[in-house]
Amino acid sequence: MVVAFKVTGGEQGGWVVLHVSGELDLVTSPGLRQRVHDEVADGRHSLVLDLSDVRFCDSSGVGVLISARRLLRSCQGSLRLVLPAAGAVEGSHVNRVFGALGVRRLFDVHLCLEDALVADTEPLSA
């Protein structure tokens, strides 16, 4: 079974929300990296990455998320991730990968999009 990778989105309440679905791996992660860079280049520095429908994530996918965090920090922006506990199908693969690598603490993680859009947090600092 081939799982299509897709990044869709638009603006919601002052945030750019990118819905990511499919597998975030060595082949597909450059597409997400480019989309994040394009949004920042267009002057949008408040991003929510909704990873609810990501079925698989490898280290290159995590690397793109860390790069996105670094990029937004460099321009005093904000990055929030939507990672529901259940996630895609039977459990969030991204949550398991984050746990195994110990990187979850680096991110502003929310269980649902609504929480990510209304949460009151400061922009990422150095």
pLDDT at residue number 4: 82
Q: Are 32 and 24 in contact (CB under 8 A)?
A: yes
**pLDDT, greater one: 85 or 45:** 45
**pLDDT band for position 91 (50/70/90)?**
low
Residues 84, 66: Cα–Cα separation, whole Å: 19
User: Per the structure block, which two tokens stand in for 25?
Assistant: 């791996």
Which value, to the nearest 10 degrees, does the dihedral of the CA atoms of residues 64, 69, 74, 80 take? 140
Q: Are 43 and 36 in contact (CB under 8 A)?
A: no
